[in-house]
Homo-oligomer: A and B are copies of this chain.
Amino acid sequence: MARVRISDVAAAAGVSTATVSLALNDQDARIPEATRERVRRAAAEVGYTPNSVARGLRTQRTRTIGLISDRIATTPFAGRMLSGAQDVAREHGYLVFLVDTDADPTVEREAIRALADQQVDAMIYACMWHRVVDVPASLPRRSVFLDCRPAQGGFPAVVPDDRAGGVAAVRELVAAGHRRIAYVDVDEPHPPVASGLRHDGYLEVLAEAGIEPDPALHVRGDTSSAGGRRAADQLLDLPEDRRPTALFCFNDRIAAGAYVAAHRRGLRIPQDLSIVGYDDQQLVAADLDPPLTTVALPHYEMGRWAMEVALGIRTPDDTGAAHLVPCPIVDRDSVGPPPATAASDSRRRT
């Protein structure tokens, strides 16, 4: 059961360990093909695979990456982000250490130290929601920020283009003919960056469409179905001439709440009310009735980008700004033209 060492291969091939190493790593041009082949055959015969720990000690490169994330457990996004990072790592023969800090600074500090002690070649500092974070004191220079921006700058970072996503969502509604479009925002201070940027996009489209923004159409709720329902109720309670015909929701859960609010009043989607969400959470957006038109968060792509930069395969633009990844809109069935008459049927069901 003892592992096969390079010296076993050397013995089997009748050469020194140096020759084995050189041959297997295609290093020294002076070694003739015949010897290489003999060594390769011997290695295969005895079932040799190099000990990465020993190699890492000698070469000072371990081909491992540390991925530190806050709250992996409770978010549905983590998987896609990990997956993107993971795929790139695998394609290049790297292994990734995953540490979930649960947003605890002590755990975070210790994790960074443990990863540094393991001599990881680089670290990725990932957040599950787009936001601005303080750079941990001991973070090594070779680090990349994923789905967050370092407050102090100085590191490559990748985040979703939330502003452009907001633009896409609201443009979709304007194109369908809506003029009274509400933004159902999340209440502070949850993910201030994403929220603000999406709102910017919203305002930008209103401006380009010549629509005066109505402060009454910007409401907030907590990021849950119940929160979305309450916020939507607030909008749907507005007098008929001020009531929105379309809702742009901060996320899909909030949109799901808006569905409930609408259904409870007998409003049909999209005939009586159009709704656009954000995040494209499979288990929410696609399962709603009707399926929700939403803006997808490019977690997989962001994960890939971060790992590519971490591995040095890709060099970030030297602007110092975070790299923006587009958020594609996913068209489903929750957007339609506004009702011909400002919705005159506000019948209620208990």
Contacts and interface: CB of A to CB of B under 8 A. Distances in A.
Contacts of A76: 76, 79, 283
B95 A114 contact: yes
A117 B225 contact: no
Contacts of A283: 76, 253, 281, 283-284
A107 B90 contact: yes
Contact of A100 (B73, B86, B107, B113): B86
Contacts of A300: 73
Contact of A74 (B79, B114, B117): B79
Interface in A112-134: 113-119
A260 interface: yes
Interface size of A as a range: 35 or more
A49 interface: yes
A128 to B, nearest CB: 10
A198 B49 CA distance: 44
A82 interface: yes
Contacts of A286: 224-225
Contact of A51 (B79, B117, B289): B117
Contacts of A80: 73
A34 interface: no
A95 B78 contact: no
Nearest to A115: B95
Interface in A67-93: 67, 72-76, 78-80, 82-83, 86-87, 90, 93
A161 to B, nearest CB: 22
Contacts of A49: 113, 116-117
Contacts of A343: none
Interface string A140-151: 010000000000
B64 A83 contact: no
Given A62-B53, A283-B284, A98 B100 contact: no
A229 B311 CA distance: 46
Q: How many copies does the complex hold?
A: 2
A13 interface: no
A97 B99 contact: no
Contacts of A281: 283
Nearest to A224: B287
A50 interface: yes
A226 to B, nearest CB: 8
Interface string A217-230: 00000001100000
Contacts of A52: 114, 117-119
B99 A95 contact: yes
A225 B287 contact: yes
Interface of A: 1, 49-54, 56-57, 62, 64, 67, 72-76, 78-80, 82-83, 86-87, 90, 93, 95-100, 107, 110-111, 113-119, 141, 224-225, 253, 256-257, 260, 263, 281-284, 286-287, 289, 300
